Amino acid sequence: MASIDSLHYPSQAEPLIQNGLKSRVLLPTDAAYAARIDSYWCNSAKLRPSCIVQPQSAEEVSKAVVALAKANQLFAIRSGGHTNWAGSNNITDGVTLDLGLLNSTEYDDTNQIVHLGPGGKWKDVYDELEKHGRRVAGGRESDVGVGGFLLGGGNTFYASFYGLACNSVIAYDVVLADGRIITAEAEGDHADLFCALKGGGNNFGIVTRFTMRTIPGGPVWGGLAIHPLDVIPAGVKGVVDFTTNNASDLYTNMQFVVGYLPRFGGNICLTIANNMAAIEKPPSLQKFLALPEIMNNYKTTTLQEVITYSSLPPNYYNIWFTLTIKNDASIILKAAELHDQMAKELQAGIPDQDFASHVSFQPLPYLFVQKSHVANSSGNVLGLEQNTGDAIVIQASVSVRTAELEAWARPKVRALVDEVRAFANNIEGGVMPWMYLNYSHSSQEVLQSYGPENVRRIREAAWKYDPEGVFQRLCPGGFKISALKI
């Protein structure tokens, strides 16, 4: 029965209040609730939960999970709130467990490791670590959250050294469905969970602290260059060669983007490139540096500045799809051509032209797989080793202003990726099995793409650590292992 004190609270908040979390609950009438909803990067994700609970410690996360599980209450988990699709990190008619106040960065000089709260943003992580002359192999964009990025894998500037960012995590503090708070490490009782959390998303519990190895900080050289569209063939050749030769220059990273990006002048292509050892104009980038340019801002600068260059404007409805292809120029050119067609359709259908679209081509050389094993001999569940050679991750994106336009544009982005896949399927090894969770649309079969052995490991860990299936039944957001048929 509801207490008198809590009568004006929605029923969804009642279990939280009864478990002592009343002061952590935000209601739809609270200004702080509105601010938290507004802080989601993407409009598609700005659902209106019955209430938000903002724990301030792992113990409070535990209290919240126990209360929600006991009440059979649907909930969502949110860290940085950067996943774009509706329902991934927020919920209608349910409780959003918002980890935004668990945002600390605590450096331990003795062991040169850092403890990160899931709700931190990478710019704050780098700011704090810089005071100690250190950094981590973390996010490439300033406002992306620690939690979702690391649980999906994490494409980092240091992938040539350590593979995806999750390989640099050495311990996870996790709140389980029954309220226990455990630490999963490479050795010991929870080694299976340690491995499953590296790519397995929110299937097992709520991570309240990530412990990562740090690396030396210092200046970087980098920035972006905007090119006219006619450089696309040369840029594509450049990205293929860069990917093939990545082992010769581990400190340099780049991505090549074709897009309709009004803030850069409309239909353009661009190169985002950095050298993490602050070597100016490294030889591995010569092909890109020789391309005709509209402008570039390459310079020696801070990591904090470089991570602003991948920012995408907030407050749009965004559609993202992904695909991993062979490092092959003809497939990349096909994707660029399909983007051009899609951008024309969008321009014709959106009279005020207030939209953006792009396809980015991100190197995924086989080197990243080899370096994952060196950095983290305990493995992960990503299944990247299924990729038989050098690959390119495609991230296709459209940003529009209304939910109606999102519904209209979604099939176009899906069709672009489907047509690239169909084209690539005609080339031997043209489509790589693995798909990147953090760039995927909710309809994409991400966990399946990790391969049957990794699906088994995720499934076993999910049922071992959450035998009642709380995170499967009550937390519908994210990619759920229980949804798989295999």
Ligand X SMILES: Cc1cc2nc3c(=O)[nH]c(=O)nc-3n(C[C@H](O)[C@H](O)[C@H](O)COP(=O)(O)OP(=O)(O)OC[C@H]3O[C@@H](n4cnc5c(N)ncnc54)[C@H](O)[C@@H]3O)c2cc1C
Residues in touch with ligand X (CB under 6 A) = 41, 77-83, 88-89, 99, 118, 139-141, 144-145, 147-149, 151-152, 154-155, 201-202, 206-207, 310-312, 438, 477-478
Taking the complex as a whole, the smallest distance from the CB of residue 439 to ligand X amounts, in Å, to: 6
What is the amino acid identity at position 161? Answer: F
Choose between 202 and 267: whose C-beta lies nearer to ligand X.
202
Phi/psi at 161 (5° precision): -100, -40
Taking the complex as a whole, the smallest distance from the CB of residue 168 to ligand X amounts, in Å, to: 13
Taking the complex as a whole, the smallest distance from the CB of residue 92 to ligand X amounts, in Å, to: 15
Dist. CA 56–CA 473, nearest whole Å: 25
Choose between 235 and 478: whose C-beta lies nearer to ligand X.
478
Choose between 210 and 423: whose C-beta lies nearer to ligand X.
210
Taking the complex as a whole, the smallest distance from the CB of residue 81 to ligand X amounts, in Å, to: 5
Taking the complex as a whole, the smallest distance from the CB of residue 376 to ligand X amounts, in Å, to: 16
- Closest by Cα among 155, 115, 162 to 134: 115
Taking the complex as a whole, the smallest distance from the CB of residue 114 to ligand X amounts, in Å, to: 16
What is the amino acid identity at position 17? Answer: I
Taking the complex as a whole, the smallest distance from the CB of residue 343 to ligand X amounts, in Å, to: 19
10 Å CB burial of residue 449 (0-12, 13-18, 19+) is buried
Choose between 237 and 401: whose C-beta lies nearer to ligand X.
401
Dist. CA 373–CA 366, nearest whole Å: 12
CA angle 371, 375, 122 (to 5 degrees): 100
What is the amino acid identity at position 76? Answer: A
Taking the complex as a whole, the smallest distance from the CB of residue 362 to ligand X amounts, in Å, to: 8
Choose between 14 and 143: whose C-beta lies nearer to ligand X.
143
Three-class secondary structure of residue 422 per DSSP: helix
Number of residues written out for the chain: 486
Q: Say if residues 364 and 331 touch (Cβ distance below 8 Å).
A: no
Phi/psi at 354 (5° precision): -85, 75
Name the one residue in this structure whose structure tokens are 């570039």: 296
Neighbouring residues of 255: CB distance < 8 A, sequence distance ≥ 6:
239, 271, 272, 273, 360, 361, 362, 363
- Closest by Cα among 477, 484, 416 to 455: 484
Choose between 311 and 482: whose C-beta lies nearer to ligand X.
311
CA angle 11, 13, 19 (to 5 degrees): 120
- Closest by Cα among 96, 97, 98, 138 to 121: 138
Choose between 15 and 477: whose C-beta lies nearer to ligand X.
477
Choose between 88 and 284: whose C-beta lies nearer to ligand X.
88
Taking the complex as a whole, the smallest distance from the CB of residue 428 to ligand X amounts, in Å, to: 28
What is the amino acid identity at position 7? Answer: L
Taking the complex as a whole, the smallest distance from the CB of residue 292 to ligand X amounts, in Å, to: 26
Q: What is the dihedral of CA 417, 423, 428, 430, to 10 degrees?
A: -20
The DSSP element (H or E) to which 288 belongs, if any, is helix 286-289
Choose between 36 and 78: whose C-beta lies nearer to ligand X.
78
- Closest by Cα among 141, 147, 161 to 214: 161
Choose between 151 and 319: whose C-beta lies nearer to ligand X.
151
